[in-house]
């Protein structure tokens, strides 16, 4: 970001707001504004609304050791630019409260509830101040991400109950589903209010997979953190470790060019196996098993290809700070490229099988529609956003790894229904295959690893990756002895989960699993 650009943004503010900005500076492509606590919400809303910005991450940092305050960090991506605005404010640890952003920026909702749970920061004026990630019987005054909360501490559990929204009326029933489901899937509670089969309201309750991941990061050195990042959300291993490495490399030095190309190829290989699972799942949920098995066979071959290239079906153990551990030698290229061509042909066959079957179209069309307005309000990311007409893709908007050198299309559709998501995912699969071909075809020579040894204390950085589910963020501030002072992870699912609640409205109960599958969100990544 240039100095003049920052001035533009500052000049657009009314004087009573710009007076509240304590300090300003430009750091790379980020504009850092330190705002007084009482004007934080207004400044954020101003930039968000006037400059069409979207929340990248919004979290608290317990900075009591260094400056005896709790910090609030809001990262906004400015529309149509590669730049970010980082808003900071600090609050008194004795009275940690701030004016809620949610009334102005709906997407801040879950972020603020999470902050309240984990750090005890109270969003005043929040429309829905119920706990989000902590267990029902967790004592409300214990906040596990505070520095004086030891990770080993066992808290006294206090039985309490969570209040759900109630829909009342004649013939209205509640259907509680989960958190334990019949299939081998993650835990999540879905509470439907229905009148017969049509859904009047859905309330999603997550947090059952909360395991203190962010706290755990603070205890691990950055080097070991890569392995934890790989395990945040099983099928997105590579995206998470990549975002983590990028965040750390942002504080030190970047990876060699060959490593960046290899990372691009592996990131797309991950997208391929994830999206194949997604489209297969959609076919399975409409009970079109033949097509589903076609997709699963392709997915299995993609996983085998990963194993052949990297010795790991889920691409674990490849990323490390400063590059990758695994090179792809030239003699492996031929089989890889021929596999990809085979995949492309099979995909075409799969698409004609699915879209040539009228009963599949009937199930997917107009089912679970998300409007563009909702997509914007909830700040949706990834294929779900792109199926609703929100044209955003980190690979293009904030290029990382070697994406700057890749030529690809970002498929966008406007219907926002299950079929649009299916089509977007199928189109993306083809783009991904092409990106792998480009990345491996033009592999630059040179080293693949420039090891990061030490991370200086007090630096901040952010890694943004387009995971198969969408924009994924690792934000970190370094502490002493190569460990983060605070490491914030924000999976794509954290934004997209909320869209499900609106997507199902007016649909019928037996279509819910299909809508859910077309989103295919991560519980573990969202609950952390």
Partner 1 sequence: MADLVLALIQTAALLALAPLLTGIIRKLKAWMQSRRGPPIYQPYLDLAKLMRKGSVVSEDSSWVTTITPYVCLISMVVAALLVPAFVTESLGFLGDLIVLVYLFAMTRFFTALAALDAGSTFGGMGSSREMLVSSLIEPAILLSFFTVALLTGTTSLVSVTSVIATSGASLIGPALLLAFAAFLIAVLAENARVPVDNPSTHLELTMIHEAMLLEYSGKDLALMEYSSMVKLTLFVTIAWSAFLPWGVATEITAPALALGVIVFLAKLLTLAVVIAVIESSMAKLRLFRLPNLLTGAFMLAFLAVMSYFVL
Contacts to partner 1 by CB under 8 A = 175-177, 181-183, 196-197, 283, 285-290, 292-294, 297, 357-360, 362-363, 508-514
CB 75 within 8 A of CB 56: yes
Q: Which of 38, 362 has the CB closer to partner 1? A: 362
- Least distance from partner 1 to the Cβ atom of residue 298, Å: 11
Shortest Cβ 123–partner 1 spacing (Å)? 34
To partner 1, the closest distance from the beta carbon of 295 in angstroms equals 11
Q: State which H helix or E strand residue 54 sits in.
A: strand 54-63
* Residue given tokens 């707001």 in the structure block: 17
Q: For residues 122 and 366, which CB has a smaller minimum distance to partner 1 in the complex? A: 366
- All residues at 6 or more sequence positions from 397 whose CB lies less than 8 Å from its CB, including other chains: 77, 82
Question: Which residue number, 232 or 369, has a Cβ lying nearer to partner 1?
Answer: 369
CB atoms within 10 A of CB 158: 11
Residue 28 or 356 with smaller CB distance to partner 1: 356
- Classified as helix, coil or strand, 415 is coil
Kindly state the smallest distance separating residue 193's Cβ from partner 1, in Å: 12
Distance between CA 428 and CA 382 in Å, rounded?
A: 11
Q: Which letter, b or e, does each residue of 197-216 get, where b requires 16 or more Cβ atoms within 10 Å of its Cβ?
A: eebbbbbbbbbbbbeebbbe
Instruction: Tell me whether residue 7 is exposed, middle or buried, using C-beta atoms within 10 angstroms of its C-beta: 0 to 12, 13 to 18, 19 or more.
Output: exposed
The 3-state DSSP class for residue 501 equals helix
Q: Give dist(CA 46, CA 67) in Å, integer.
A: 28
Q: Please identify, using beta-carbon distances, which residue of 287 and 341 lies nearer to partner 1.
A: 287
Residue 510 C-beta: closest distance to partner 1, Å: 4
* Minimum distance of partner 1 from residue 194's CB (angstroms): 9
Nearest Cα neighbor of 54 from 69, 64, 44 is 44
d(CA 305, CA 433): 13
- Residue closest to 464 by CA, chosen among 384, 379, 400, 383: 400
Nearer to partner 1, 25 or 348 (CB): 348
Contact 327, 448 (CB under 8 A): yes
- What residues form DSSP beta bridges with 462? 475
| Nearer CB in complex with partner 1: 426/514 | 514
Looking at beta carbons only, is 120 or 368 nearer to partner 1? 368
* Least distance (Å) between residue 297 CB and partner 1: 6
Smallest distance from the beta carbon of 512 to partner 1, in angstroms? Answer: 5
């Amino acid at each position: 970001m240039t100095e003049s650009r920052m001035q533009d943004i500052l000049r657009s503010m009314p004087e009573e707001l710009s007076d509240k900005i304590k300090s300003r500076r430009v750091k790379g492509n980020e504009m850092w504004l330190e705002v007084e606590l009482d004007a934080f919400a207004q400044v954020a809303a101003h930039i968000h609304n006037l400059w069409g910005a979207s929340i990248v991450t919004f979290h608290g940092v317990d900075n009591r050791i260094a400056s005896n305050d709790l910090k609030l960090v809001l990262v906004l991506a400015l529309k149509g630019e590669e730049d970010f605005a980082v808003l900071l404010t600090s609050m008194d640890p004795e009275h940690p409260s701030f004016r809620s952003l949610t009334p102005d920026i709906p997407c801040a909702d879950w972020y603020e509830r999470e902050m309240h749970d984990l750090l005890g920061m109270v969003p005043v004026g929040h429309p829905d101040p119920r706990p989000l990630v902590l267990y029902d019987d967790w004592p409300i005054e214990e906040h596990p991400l505070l520095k004086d909360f030891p990770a080993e501490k066992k808290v006294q559990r206090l039985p309490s109950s969570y209040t759900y929204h109630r829909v009342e009326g004649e013939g209205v029933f509640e259907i509680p589903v989960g958190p334990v489901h019949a299939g081998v899937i993650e835990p999540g509670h879905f509470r439907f209010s229905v009148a017969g089969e049509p859904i009047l309201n859905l309330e999603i309750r997550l947090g059952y997979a909360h395991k203190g991941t962010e706290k755990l990061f603070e205890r691990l050195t950055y080097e070991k953190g890569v392995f934890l990042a790989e395990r945040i959300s099983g099928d997105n291993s590579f995206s998470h470790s990549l975002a983590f490495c990028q965040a750390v490399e942002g504080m030190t030095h970047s990876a060699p060019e060959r490593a960046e190309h290899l990372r691009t190829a592996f990131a797309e290989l991950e997208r391929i196996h994830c999206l194949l699972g997604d489209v297969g799942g959609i076919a399975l949920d409409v009970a079109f098993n033949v097509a589903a098995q076609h997709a699963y066979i392709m997915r299995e071959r993609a996983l085998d290809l990963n194993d052949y290239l990297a010795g790991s079906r889920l691409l674990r153990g490849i990323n490390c700070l400063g590059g990758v551990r695994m090179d792809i030698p030239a003699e492996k290229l031929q089989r890889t490229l021929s596999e990809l061509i085979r995949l492309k042909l099979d995909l075409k066959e799969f698409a004609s099988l699915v879209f040539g079957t009228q009963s599949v179209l009937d199930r997917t069309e107009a089912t679970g529609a998300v409007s563009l307005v909702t997509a914007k309000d909830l700040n949706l990311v990834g294929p779900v956003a792109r199926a609703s007409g929100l044209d955003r893709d980190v690979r293009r908007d904030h290029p990382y790894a070697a994406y700057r050198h890749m030529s690809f299309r970002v498929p966008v559709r406007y219907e926002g229904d299950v079929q649009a998501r299916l089509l977007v995912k199928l189109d993306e699969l083809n783009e991904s295959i092409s990106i792998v071909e480009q990345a491996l075809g033009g592999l630059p020579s040179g080293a693949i690893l420039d090891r990061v040894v030490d991370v200086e204390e007090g630096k901040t950085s952010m890694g943004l990756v387009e995971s198969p589910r969408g924009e994924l963020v690792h934000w970190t501030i370094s502490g002493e002895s190569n460990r983060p002072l605070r490491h914030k992870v924000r999976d794509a699912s954290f934004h997209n989960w909320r869209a499900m609640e609106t997507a199902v409205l007016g649909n019928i109960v037996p279509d819910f699993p299909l809508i859910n599958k077309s989103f295919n969100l991560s519980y573990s990544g969202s609950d952390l």
